[in-house]
């Protein structure tokens, strides 16, 4: 869907790929037509929007969310999750194959999820397929039907219908990647390392026990094994939610050797610590877990050096009953932060650490678009779709329950004061969200690069 009305956004701090400028954008037929300095006279266009000095940047492309529809829509669905996404400056989401029922491991399951997304999602969307010991014929059918790539777990996923891939399946999936060009996104924790820690624990885990099981060795061992096979088999891989700076550095060095690998981290690994989890509880439980304060700073160093490819929320909600209990081994390990990713990254990265906006914009949008071959999204550039986030950088607002829009409001930044705040989100040149209000918009399905239309 496109907007036929010509519009201009003026009085704007515009974030381009390589620099920033004060000026205006002209949008026609939903695409950016002109980027210029200064302000056009409002009478030159049929509609105008005064940004009032706010940052105008590409809307986030969040390549890692769990909206769980169909089957577990009470955990989070496309409607509620995408409302929160829009309020957070997210224009495109790529939904993971779990924790929906059925998981997206067959073409039939993909059609069910696609129908649900087309009916309820308020952002543009793409859909991941799943590798769960299901076999190459199903992977090929999913790839040809339009998945963005495939998610694979090297450890227990947390839901029984999506098991961890065994070694044979991992190797087969990487060979399929080399043959087809499909991206394999991997949850890199080593189950055998974690099982070795479990042997020493009694029933009824404490939070310290959870950190012991999901210790850094489990991530490093999985990353080493994954990079070994990817290099040997010439596969195309992506490491999701890297919690350790060591993982990012290993991935960067592998890329320099010619391995086709990318890596994401998440806002919670850049801002929260294991101490937050130990003292504040289940809202902060995730897998991999939060790490040390020193690791947070080391990850920011990786961001500043350009070692991280992109940022994703890994928005993974659950009902309140799965976030309570004295035995933390039974508590759902997921962070629900899709609404806060852009605000947190700009508050902590740009305003606190002076990392340039173009670098942060690349992490949120441009690099994702390039990795998935999206030719006309992810940047403010002439001819590109006008998917935009407008951000006030002088807000000092506090996240409160009434202003958190995902289903269960388990946002880990609840009560945190953030200077960056989303004022509006535009999709295809139209306002889709502004200051607590959502507007009618028909989003687009973005099929993956293997689709046979």
pLDDT in tens, 284-293: 999 999 999 9
Q: Tokens 């006279």 correspond to what residue?
A: 41
Instruction: Give, in degrees to the nearest 5, the angle at Cα 296 between 292 and 302.
Output: 135
What domain range includes position 387? 7-56+382-438
Same domain membership, residue 168 and residue 22: no
Q: Quick check: is 376 in a domain?
A: no
Q: Tokens 């044979």 correspond to what residue?
A: 168
Q: Say if residues 315 and 336 touch (Cβ distance below 8 Å).
A: yes
Same domain membership, residue 389 and residue 324: no
Per residue in 204-241, pLDDT (tens digit) is 899 999 999 999 999 999 999 999 999 999 999 999 99
pLDDT of residue 3: 55
Residues of the chain predicted below pLDDT 70:
1-4, 40-46, 453
Same domain membership, residue 258 and residue 397: no
Report the predicted TM-score, pTM, of the whole model to 2 decimal places.
0.96
Beta bridge partners of 34: 26
pLDDT of residue 453: 53
Alpha-carbon distance 437 to 245, whole Å? 38
Where does a domain end: 314, 339, 371? 371
Same domain membership, residue 389 and residue 364: no
Q: Quick check: is 452 in a domain?
A: no
pLDDT of residue 48: 86
Same domain membership, residue 68 and residue 16: no
Alpha-carbon distance 133 to 152, whole Å? 9
Number of domains in the chain: 2
pLDDT of residue 1: 45
């Amino acid at each position: 869907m496109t907007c036929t009305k010509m519009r201009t956004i003026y009085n704007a701090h515009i974030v381009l790929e390589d620099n920033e400028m004060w000026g205006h954008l002209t949008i026609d037929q939903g695409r950016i037509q002109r980027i210029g300095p200064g302000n056009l006279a409002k009478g030159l266009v049929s509609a105008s929007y005064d940004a009032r000095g706010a940052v105008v940047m590409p809307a986030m492309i969040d390549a890692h969310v769990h909206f769980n529809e169909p089957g577990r829509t009470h955990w989070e669905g496309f409607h509620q999750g995408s409302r929160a996404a829009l309020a957070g400056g997210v224009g495109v989401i790529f939904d993971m194959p779990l924790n929906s029922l059925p998981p997206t491991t067959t073409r039939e399951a993909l059609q069910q999820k696609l129908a649900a997304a087309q009916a309820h999602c308020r952002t543009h969307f793409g859909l991941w397929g799943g590798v769960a010991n299901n076999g190459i014929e199903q992977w090929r059918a999913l790839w040809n039907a339009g998945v963005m790539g495939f998610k694979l777990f090297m450890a227990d996923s947390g839901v029984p219908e999506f098991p961890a891939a065994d070694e044979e399946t991992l190797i087969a999936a990487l060979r399929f990647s080399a043959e087809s060009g499909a991206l394999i996104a991997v949850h890199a924790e080593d189950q055998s390392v974690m099982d070795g820690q479990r042997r020493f624990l009694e029933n009824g885990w404490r939070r310290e026990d959870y950190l012991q099981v999901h210790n850094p060795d489990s991530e490093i061992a999985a990353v080493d094994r994954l990079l070994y096979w990817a290099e040997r088999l010439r596969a195309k891989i992506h490491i999701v939610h890297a919690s350790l700076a060591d993982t990012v550095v290993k991935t960067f060095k592998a890329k320099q050797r010619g391995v086709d690998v990318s890596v994401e981290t998440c806002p919670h690994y850049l801002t929260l610590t294991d101490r937050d989890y130990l003292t504040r509880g289940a809202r902060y439980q995730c897998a991999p877990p939060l790490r040390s304060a020193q690791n947070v700073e080391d990850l920011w160093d990786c961001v500043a050096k350009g070692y991280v490819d992109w940022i994703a929320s890994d928005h993974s909600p659950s009902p309140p009953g799965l976030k309570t209990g004295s035995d933390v081994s039974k508590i759902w390990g997921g962070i629900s932060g899709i609404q806060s990713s852009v605000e947190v990254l700009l508050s902590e990265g740009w305003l606190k650490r002076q990392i340039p906006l173009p670098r942060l914009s690349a992490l949120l949008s441009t690099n994702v678009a390039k990795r998935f071959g999206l030719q006309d999204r992810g940047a403010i550039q002439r001819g590109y779709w006008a998917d935009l986030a407008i951000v006030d950088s002088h807000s000092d607002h506090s996240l409160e329950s009434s202003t958190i829009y995902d289903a269960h409001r388990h946002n880990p930044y609840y009560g945190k004061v953030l200077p960056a705040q989303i004022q509006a989100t535009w999709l295809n040149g139209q306002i889709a969200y502004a200051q607590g209000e959502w507007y009618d918009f028909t989003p687009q399905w973005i099929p993956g690069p293997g689709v046979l239309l």
